[in-house]
Amino acid sequence: MGNASHSVLPRALSPKAQAIYDAVMEVTRKAPHTLTFPATDIATAGYVTRYQLGYAHDASLCRHMFGRLIRNADEEVVSLTYLFDRHSECAREIAQAIRDLNDRALQAGRHVRVFLMMDAYGLLMLESTRSAEQAVPGGAAQKAASTSVPMLLDVLNLSDGVHELPPEAIGLPAARDVPALDLRVRTFHYWTVGTLHSKALTVDGSRTVIGSQNMDSEIGSELLVELEGPVARPIRAEFYHIWRSGRPANDGEDEYGMQPQPTSPSTVARMNDTKNLSTNPNAVQVRMPPLRRHPAPRIIADMLPMLVLSHHWSSSIKDAHMDGTQNAAWLAALQLAKRKVYIQTPNFNAVAAREALVSTVKRGVKVDLVTSYHFEDIGEALYPENQADGTNHAAYRRLYKEMGQDIDRAGNGTFRGCWYIGRRQATGTIPNKWEWTHIKLMSIDDELAIFGSGNMDAQSWFHSQEINVLVDDATFAERITAELRDQQHSFSRCHANH
């Protein structure tokens, strides 16, 4: 395998990151149809401008990470999220940031694109919950969400494909009220499980925020990381690929669409067939609006090498294809671990993840795994047994059994799989379903870290659209892993069978 081009990296990848990159590129050659941006953009670079750990319910993450970037945009804001809760503090913060951006753009005489995309099933779940709460006479939800039922009926009609929504339907300003903005909203979902689970907000093609936080105010712990530089380009490209994937009838045929680069007569003949993406990973191109004020960011010598890793959605629950750069990177990272692995994820039940973890531990690598107690038990139990081990509880029992360790004495062996107990809980607290983590991160030997939207469950491994970033820097990996550990009491008394 060849090294990643020095023209796109500030320095050579570390040996582990290079081996992961080689595994990722092998997948792009075998399964180019899974790409949502050019393979040449996978290896990239950028600065970690800031990151923030916290709880979503107080909206501080939304305000400091999403709202700040939106307000400071010059040309464009594009956003992918699974959940957009129009009744949440986060949604209200984003709506106000959009109004503030409009005022600023009016004063400067500029026009700014603001495109937001979310999963239709995620909206359906949120509105279903609101409707159920409305059934309680005099309840807060009954007063605050009087339009939930009509909205729910609308979302039911948006459960397959890509559809346009008026911004005001999700609590944003109406387009007519923000004349300096091209404000648009679309939903994505392909029945049954083809889900948009990516979480990324990209501004001016040069700054991006990526991590676990949806645009909601749930109670779990979250992580958002702000990156600046060329790394924003493939994340922006992924947005436009998904934005155009449904080709809405009212959208221009030549606007922002993804088309294969013509490399042969047969490719040219297929260019207007929207079912075909590419037969060559280097031919995949995503047409995006030009950025006049913000040309493509350049590689700077002190930037960090990064890999952008995605997973392409699949609609059938029967599909269990391992193809995709996200999965290839996870598997390669676990195979390459020498000393220790740290994984934090709300759900862990993917068979492929369990098999890789067992193999890693049996090689003598110390593995710490933190998951959420009784998190989404009903949904996680729906997947076929060749994809998933059931709920987090069932997956833990199987993990400990295959490790040859006693689950009732969790925390005493090379493998420690523990329920998440946050720092806001007292030391020694037993786990409960109201205290959970939504963070998705894998750290390998304190040398590199992979974070983003992908969980260690069957949905993320096989079905959802996901976006993650690998940062090839030991200082960052060690620091963020240490801070995650400091944010919890999960290992003070490890619970796995409670």
Looking at the structure, do residues 255 and 372 belong to the same domain, yes or no? no
- The one-letter amino acid at 19: A
Looking at the structure, do residues 341 and 264 belong to the same domain, yes or no? no
Looking at the structure, do residues 167 and 248 belong to the same domain, yes or no? yes
Instruction: Decide which of 252, 286, 320 is a domain's last residue.
Output: 286
Looking at the structure, do residues 326 and 381 belong to the same domain, yes or no? yes
- We report the CATH number of the domain holding residue 108 as 3.30.870.10
Instruction: Decide which of 286, 303, 329 is a domain's last residue.
Output: 286
As a whole number of angstroms, the distance between CA 277 and CA 283 comes to: 9
Domain membership of residue 197 (yes or no) is: yes
Domain membership of residue 39 (yes or no) is: no
- The one-letter amino acid at 190: Y
Which phi and psi (to 5°) does residue 311 adopt? -135, 130
Looking at the structure, do residues 256 and 368 belong to the same domain, yes or no? no
- Taking CA atoms, 84 is separated from 125, 187, 214, 242, 440, in Å, by 11, 10, 7, 17, 19
Contact 199, 79 (CB under 8 A): no
| Tens-digit pLDDT string for the chain (498 aa) | 567 754 579 999 999 999 999 999 999 999 999 999 999 999 999 999 999 999 877 789 999 999 999 999 999 999 999 999 999 999 999 999 999 999 999 999 999 999 999 999 999 888 877 766 665 555 544 544 444 556 655 665 666 899 999 999 999 999 999 999 999 999 999 989 999 999 999 999 999 999 999 999 888 999 999 999 999 999 999 999 999 986 544 455 545 443 433 323 233 223 223 233 344 655 577 889 999 877 677 778 899 999 999 999 999 999 888 899 999 999 999 999 999 999 999 999 999 999 999 999 999 999 999 999 988 888 888 999 999 999 999 999 999 999 998 888 877 679 999 999 999 888 888 898 889 999 999 999 999 999 999 999 999 999 999 999 999 999 999 999 999 999 999 998 898 876
- 3-state SS class at 498: coil
Domain membership of residue 357 (yes or no) is: yes
Domain membership of residue 421 (yes or no) is: yes
Minimal CA–CA distance to 88: which of 114, 116, 127, 43? 127
Give the range of the structural domain holding residue 86, as residue numbers without chain letter: 44-286
DSSP E strands in 138-239: the ranges are 161-165, 181-189, 200-203, 207-211, 221-228
As a whole number of angstroms, the distance between CA 461 and CA 321 comes to: 9
Looking at the structure, do residues 181 and 316 belong to the same domain, yes or no? no
Looking at the structure, do residues 350 and 401 belong to the same domain, yes or no? yes
Structure tokens at 462: 């096989």
Domain membership of residue 427 (yes or no) is: yes
Looking at the structure, do residues 368 and 469 belong to the same domain, yes or no? yes
Domains identified in the chain, total number? 2
Pairing of strands 112-119, 181-189: parallel
Say how many C-beta atoms besides its own lie within 10 A of residue 96's C-beta: 15
Domain membership of residue 346 (yes or no) is: yes
Provide DSSP, 353-399.
HHHHHHHHHHTT-EEEEEE-TT-SHHHHTTS-TTTB-SSHHHHHHHH
Looking at the structure, do residues 270 and 351 belong to the same domain, yes or no? no
Looking at the structure, do residues 73 and 148 belong to the same domain, yes or no? yes
Torsion of CA 141, 146, 150, 156, to 10 degrees: -10
Report the b/e string of 41-70 with b at 16+ CB within 10 A: bbbbbbbbeebbbbbbbebbbbbbbbbbbb
Looking at the structure, do residues 279 and 321 belong to the same domain, yes or no? no
Domain membership of residue 126 (yes or no) is: yes
Looking at the structure, do residues 395 and 468 belong to the same domain, yes or no? yes
Domain membership of residue 21 (yes or no) is: no
Minimal CA–CA distance to 220: which of 93, 374, 92, 79? 374
Does an H or E element contain 468, and which? Answer: strand 466-471
